[in-house]
Amino acid sequence: MKQLNRRNFMTLAALSGGALAAGIGGGREALAGSVKIPSVESSGRDFSPTTGKERKAIPTACWQCVTRDAMIGFVEDGRLKKLEGHPNSIRTLGKLCAKGQAGVNQVYFPDRILHPLKRVGKRGEHKWKRISWNEALDTVAGKLKELRDAGTPELFMYQYGRHKASQAATMYDFMGAYGTKTIGNHTSVCEAAKWTGQESLWGGMYDNWDYDNTDFVVIFGSNNFETHTNHIPTSQRLIRAKVDRGVPLYVFDVRLSNTAAKADKWVPIKPGKDGLIMLSMINVIMNEGLFKKDHFKFMRVTPDYHASTNDKIAAVKANVAKFTPEFAEKESGVPADTIREIARGFAKAKSACLVTYRGTVMHYHGADQERAAMLLSAITNNLDRPGGRVMGVGASWKHPSSPKAKVAKTLHIKDGFPGEAAYPTHHVSQQVWPMIKDGTHGRPKVYWWSCYNPAYINGDNKGVAATMADESIVPFQICTTIVYDESAQYADLILPDVTYLERWDWEDMVSANQIAEFYIRQPLVKPLGESRCQGDVWPELAKKIGFDLVYSSKEDFVRQSCEMTPGVKEAGGFEYMKKEGVWHDPNDKGNYGFYEQEVDASGDGVILDAQTGVYWNWKKTGAKSEKEATSAGYLKTSGSKGSYVAQKIGNKTYKAYPPNTSFLKGGLLDFYSDNFAAKGLPAFPTYTPIPEHQKMAKDELILTTYKVAVHTHSRTAHCKWLTEIKHDNPGWINPKTAAERGIKDGEAVKVSSQQGEITTTVHLTEGIVPGVIAISHHLGRQHSGVYGSGKTSPTPGGASADPDAKNIWWDKHGNHPNVIIPNWSDPISGTQRWMDTVVRVKKA
Amino acid sequence: MTKINKVNISRRKLLSSTAGVAVAGVATVAVPATAEAARKAKAPRWGMVMDLRKCIGCRACTVSCKAENDVSLGRFRTVIQEKTWGTFPNTRKAFLPLMCNHCEGSEKDKVPPCVKACPEYPGERAKFKTPDGKTIRYRKGATYKRPDGLVLIDKAACVGCGKCIDACPYGVRSFDPFVKAGKDTTKQAADKCTMCDHRIDNGIEPACVNTCQGRSRIFGDLSDPNSVVAKLVKEHNLANNVLLPEEGTRPQVYYIDPEGVLKDLYRKRKKGKLDHYMDQIP
């Protein structure tokens, strides 16, 4: 058997398992040893270990986490048996992580919900009755039609945890046609501060780390080897860079994560000090003259848009003067010499990646920490350059759109309480339920959530649960889910979702090599029971309410998208994607340095703004005349953001960094931000100590949370192969910290905060900074089926029993730290401050 | 599994009937069909190199093995052991992938301890086809070694005695609650890593190797000097970089370990216990 190549893979995917088996099955004994295994990675094929029959191979995509790896599913006699990375994917390079490998468990866990269920007891009484889909959708349609007919479509709120690509597009299409804009998400509990910080600068979001080309890597608060929003594509490239090319790797973290463990040096750091270290590195680099001038012309570091590079250098120096390594050492616990060493290495390297994630940004002023990371990258010319921190590239799909509703309104409960966050560019999802409880800004009459678990994943999750349980607050609650969980228990109607292994989608996650990959997800098996894909439900529900969508099913939506997306269409459209699963432009050289593109600024209506140096098209704004536009200027004319054409730098006009998000800005990297200054926030990246940490008593600790390699936050506890490996989450604590409290390894402790108290156990380890307790946040499930919570879900008609259930050997299920973390926001971005909670830890 | 006609022969008879052959009772040495074939028949020697520099402790191997081979809860066919040592802030942590070592067996008899312990070995006669089409005859058993070096279990021939489980110094074997022992259905069959023989036999690498994002697990033919594994063994001088070399079992899983952490990392089996072989994240 030859190594799988692109050509024979196509044939393979098109054939049925039976046809393939005919040539191979039964020949096992004869073939034994007769094959030379190529020394390269090869697969895309799989065989049954019991029958020897070849399994049917179908290209699809993962959904365990947002990375959404392209992969191959292997099916045997109609049952999904195995998943592996797609060998032709330029993102995954044929690899899949532990969570991805456990995707099989999503389909077949014994407590899976397979029928529409109607609540028959009080909320939270766990009394359910099976009903038909028709009855379920008639009920939903009746409620939604009433709100729409009354001119109040916004009283229908929809909130999702994980919707992406066509899953999101079909949902937004339905909501747009219906007329509600009260659509909630979850990004602010994930990493919103990171995006807000970036958007204020380069006008976009999502940094990729160009590990394939880098010469030096410094990571802050990101556990790239265990988890990341682009884990498999980036993580494998990082270990390859480190071992094969000897790229130095430094990891700043409060905890000795797997990532820190593989680094040249783990640099332990107190929580909330990452930005300070970066500013201190900038201090070293500026003072020692190690900066690179190249990127300064694209930077703005003072109110003046036209400052010379020398003026800018002087201003950066002045702004970071106080952040000496000695000062940073005092605040962070990181030795000044270590800061100097890493700063010098970073600046002197031909290229360098500066990585940040949740550990850095889920703090008070988290968005400003990200701005410091961008500044450090810019002064060393590592922004959007090969080997540096680059703007992520994902697939741009075209898709059909249904006619929009005439009336479209929103409830103002998505962006936090008034004044809570200055720039909630990704909303403030953790405050949706507190705001619903508060009621001042309106309450939905129908709340529908999907692939989301607000009563588990938010801070003060018990408070959220109590509000959801109260029938007088939101009168009708709908939950689309595969598992009975902390939130589903408070639904009035449960709709059985398909798993991602039973549905169609097109996918678009960012590539690690700057070349967009187009890929699709297709069903590997028929949906179990009566489970239905929401993309199939929307058209039917729309009809029942009284309007039509432009697609008839999710498959139809994906088909239409494939036939209208440039590149994919020419490659063969839907049929090609079904066979191949992935497509990328073979001539694409990778997208770097988009900002350097020179732009023609001579179009009709294009004028130069004297203050900012921005070329903008006044005809695309609200201005009535060129004269009015000129006198008001680019920044003061309404609707000017969409009129940006180019940035004048010297005698050239560059695309530069356009204001592609909610920030109105010029084309320069706004390290001096008028937007921030206008709201009383630091205009230039700075160090703002976390207020609660400044007032800590001697016996208090900081609580941080983290992820491990085998779980997502809330959607994998019912996956037996993952929970078997990680089912308990004792708090990590330094032996010194424990000794001060008379606590021994494994002992029970009470952890209390202003929000509440939990009892858990501790894991004593030298792999954590003293003064901190770190608790992973995947476990402590009230309901997540027998594997996740130790008890069977109280829902009728679940999946058939798993013979493995009798082999469960663990009786611990962990404790959830969110119970004691308040819902509180970064005042800049509205991001949830997971890493700021002050606690006391005592022997229980 | 392909049905093979069993030779109904007692253990005693079997031993006596093969006594005349020079290689009688030896697990690994093939019985060539002819003297001519003996000179030419050459099986691959499948083995694995684990590059500890590249193992990031992600557990994809552990889970992919569970899926590929439908391994029940409560036991594993491959695991990662992790260990943290040192004193803050000079703390270290490292990862060690473990699996069946597909041992060559002692220098003396070339029989791995698990095979030696199997009361059903040697059992039926079997043929092994080499890549160049030659045939090598060998003896199976409930636990046996194939001429390509894979130590395998024939669950249909297993009596569920557990002697092989006790005999493995690495503790990589356990009872399979899903499969009865073929020769004593009151008991469960023994189970362990097969190096994904069902994949290898079809020309694709084992599941754990396929999913290893660090390319820490490298699979191949150790007898082929041009294979990556053979080159790595040579280049890194790995002959003795195996687990428990003092046991004389001659494992065919080698570890690239430039920092010399293997000995400190490895949590050995405690006598009569298998809890060292449960993959757990603290």
Q: What pLDDT, in 10s, does the model give residues A571-583? A: 999 999 999 999 9
Q: What is the pLDDT of residues A487-513, one digit of tens each?
A: 999 999 999 999 999 999 999 999 999
What is the mean predicted confidence (pLDDT) over B169-191? 98
Give chain A's mean pLDDT.
94
Interface of A with B in 255-284 (CB under 8 A): 256, 258-262, 266, 268
CB contact under 8 A, B56 and A36: no
pLDDT at A242 over 50: yes
- pLDDT band (50, 70, 90) for residue B281: very high
CB count in 10 Å sphere of residue B274: 17
Q: What is the pLDDT of residues B124-148, one digit of tens each?
A: 999 999 888 899 999 999 999 999 9
CB contact under 8 A, A239 and B54: yes
**Would you state the pLDDT for residue B20?**
34
Same domain, A769 and A714: yes
In the block, residue with structure tokens 């093979």: B4
**Identity of the residue in B73, B200, B280 whose CB atom sits nearest the CB atom of A808:** B73
Q: For this complex, say whether ipTM is above 0.85.
A: yes
- pLDDT band (50, 70, 90) for residue A42: low
Kindly report the nearest CA distance between residue B225 and chain A, in angstroms. 12
- Report how far residue B217's alpha carbon sits from residue B219's, in angstroms, rounded to the nearest whole number: 6
Same domain, A445 and A538: yes
Same domain, A61 and A156: no
Q: Does B129 touch chain A (CB under 8 A)?
A: yes
Q: Does B258 touch chain A (CB under 8 A)?
A: no
Q: Is A380 left (phi over 0), alpha (psi -120 to 50) or beta?
A: alpha
CB contact under 8 A, A767 and B88: yes
The vertex-A572 CA angle with A566 and A575, nearest 5°, equals: 120
Interface of A with B in 142-201 (CB under 8 A): none
What sign has the CA pseudo-torsion B98, B100, B106, B112?
positive
Same domain, A270 and A357: yes
B86 neighbourhood in chain A, CB within 8 Å? 766
Token pair for A724 = 């078997």
Same domain, A23 and A159: no
- pLDDT band (50, 70, 90) for residue B36: low
Residue of B nearest to A234 (CA): B213
pLDDT at B33 over 90: no
Same domain, A647 and A541: no
B interface test, pick of A242, A255, A258, A772 with most B CB neighbours within 10 Å: A258
Same domain, A428 and A462: yes
pLDDT at B80 over 70: yes
CATH number at residue A825: 2.40.40.20
CATH number at residue B60: 3.30.70.20
Total beta-carbon pairs less than 8 A apart between chain A and chain B: 238
CB contact under 8 A, A725 and B281: yes
Q: Structurally, how many domains does chain A consist of?
A: 5
In the block, residue with structure tokens 């002692």: B106
* Angle, in degrees to the nearest 10, between helices A274-287 and A309-320: 130
Residue where a domain stops, chosen among A391, A417, A443: A391
Residue where a domain stops, chosen among A55, A74, A108: A108
- Report how far residue A156's alpha carbon sits from residue A163's, in angstroms, rounded to the nearest whole number: 18
- pLDDT band (50, 70, 90) for residue A33: very low
pLDDT at B11 over 50: no
Same domain, A482 and A416: yes
**Is residue A674 assigned to a domain?**
no
Same domain, A482 and A629: no
B73 neighbourhood in chain A, CB within 8 Å? 720, 724, 804, 807-809
% of chain A residues with pLDDT over 70:
95
**Is residue A401 assigned to a domain?**
no
CB contact under 8 A, A35 and B202: yes
Token pair for A652 = 């050239």
**Is residue A345 assigned to a domain?**
yes
State the SS3 of A313-381: HHHHHHHHCCCCHHHHHHHHCCCHHHHHHHHHHHHHCCCCEEEECHHHHCCCCHHHHHHHHHHHHHHCC
- pLDDT band (50, 70, 90) for residue B42: confident
**Is residue B259 assigned to a domain?**
yes
Kindly report the nearest CA distance between residue B196 and chain A, in angstroms. 8
Q: Does B144 touch chain A (CB under 8 A)?
A: no
- pLDDT band (50, 70, 90) for residue A114: very high
- pLDDT band (50, 70, 90) for residue A796: confident
Same domain, A716 and A768: yes
**Domain range spanning residue B69?**
46-101+195-276
**Is residue B211 assigned to a domain?**
yes
Q: Structurally, how many domains does chain B consist of?
A: 1
**Is residue A33 assigned to a domain?**
yes
**Is residue B218 assigned to a domain?**
yes
**Would you state the pLDDT for residue A1?**
32
A716: phi then psi, degrees, rounded to nearest 5: -130, 0
pLDDT at A75 over 90: yes
**Is residue A223 assigned to a domain?**
yes
**Domain range spanning residue A264?**
207-391
Same domain, A226 and A358: yes
The vertex-A195 CA angle with A194 and A200, nearest 5°, equals: 105
**Is residue B112 assigned to a domain?**
no
User: The whole model's pTM is what?
Assistant: 0.93
Candidates A617, A599, A598; CA nearest to A607 is A617
Same domain, A430 and A532: yes
**Is residue A315 assigned to a domain?**
yes
**Is residue B41 assigned to a domain?**
no
- Report how far residue A674's alpha carbon sits from residue A656's, in angstroms, rounded to the nearest whole number: 18
- pLDDT band (50, 70, 90) for residue A40: very low
